[in-house]
Structure 1
């Protein structure tokens, strides 16, 4: 039984990949069971299990009398692709939720070593501002927020923030004409955020990160 389940999962993944590659276009029928059996070299029961699994997940839709079709609303984009294609309003709304939770957990869970890391990133940010180096400002800013993400001790949150850094860096690059002014104006808020996290003041940290994100809007 265990072997059958593994085979079914493997065929399910193969069909899913073929759909993602465009072998079976959205809103069109996939081949009938006999042809699928030949294409994937498995029996009827395995094909039926795979189709059932893909139907439950919304990738396929089985229509009585019409056959099995690929759902026209199939989501095939990776999270990174979705982030690249998202507009700024959507990104900003998700960052508010993400970073609000990050700073709260960092205030609870940080270690002394992580506090030192945040402090070093903050000092690098300040030095880059004084030296009027926009790229170094962006690097230090992202490093500071990434250190907070790691201090949250939530690997999923930290991973999500890492995905966001590409978008954040792109946003900074589009504001290069402003030089270091954007970083300089928000530096005092970053220092206050650091102090709140270090002092384990969760609510204060959440309020400050909202100010930081609103000022970057």
Structure 2
């Protein structure tokens, strides 16, 4: 999970809906509750419900039918992007993830807002705090949160949602490397600081160059 103080409400709703589907509360082909009902059920606002449904629809888990409602996709297990990624070779997944990050960093450098900069900066601070606490899991969570915040700043929700699916797979990769401790996170934290500064200053060539260094270190 992303650090509790930085996870978005819609991401929590995504996880809750997935859990309800897996437990059979919402069955394949069945209509899920309306937005007002989901708002009461998960204790969140309308925008969080809509964002969660949009993301789940993009990943193939839900199907939105205008005028009829939202349904659990009959074949979501076969068409889900996340399921396909989990079955894919990690090197292939990582190669596409690298391409996504390059495009997202470029767009974020061009399109980020002041509010999004604050979110990215907070994630960066969380990353530093986790390193200082020598908490490997929190380091991984904060690192993913940092790059996800950059993705949201791209102003391209489709790419951002697609990147979120990739982070679910990358999180497993980070977890497998926890035994290596925080050394990799600590050694390249200065690069993440440089990336933030480049995005903040809207220096495109610099942000791309710094990202390439991060990717070359496999983080």
Short-chain TM bin: 0.5 to 0.7
1:117 pairs with one of 109, 116, 119:
119
1:148-201 deviation per Cα after TM superposition (whole angstroms, max 9, x unaligned): 011000001110111011111101101011111121111111111101100101
Task: Establish whether residue 101 from structure 1 lines up as the match of residue 87 from structure 2.
Answer: no
Q: How does 1:1-217 map to 2 (within 5 A)?
A: 76-216=78-218
Alpha-carbon distance in structure 1 between the residues aligned to 2:204 and 2:90: 27
TM-score, normalising length: structure 1: 0.63
Deviation of the 1:208 alpha carbon? 1.5
Deviation of the 1:78 alpha carbon? 2.3
Question: Which stretches in structure 2 are left out of the alignment for 5+ residues?
Answer: 1-27, 29-77
Alignment-derived partner of residue 61 in structure 1? none
Deviation of the 1:77 alpha carbon? 4.1
Alpha-carbon distance in structure 2 between the residues aligned to 1:133 and 1:192: 22
Alpha-carbon distance in structure 2 between the residues aligned to 1:200 and 1:134: 31
Aligned structure 1 segments of 4 or more residues deviating by more than 2 angstroms:
none
1:123-165 deviation per Cα after TM superposition (whole angstroms, max 9, x unaligned): 1100100110011111111111111011000001110111011
1:95-127 deviation per Cα after TM superposition (whole angstroms, max 9, x unaligned): 121000000000011111111111111011001
TM-score, normalising length: structure 2: 0.63
Alpha-carbon distance in structure 1 between the residues aligned to 2:191 and 2:79: 36
SS in structure 1 of the partner of residue 188 of structure 2:
helix
Question: Which stretches in structure 1 are left out of the alignment for 5+ residues?
Answer: 1-20, 22-75
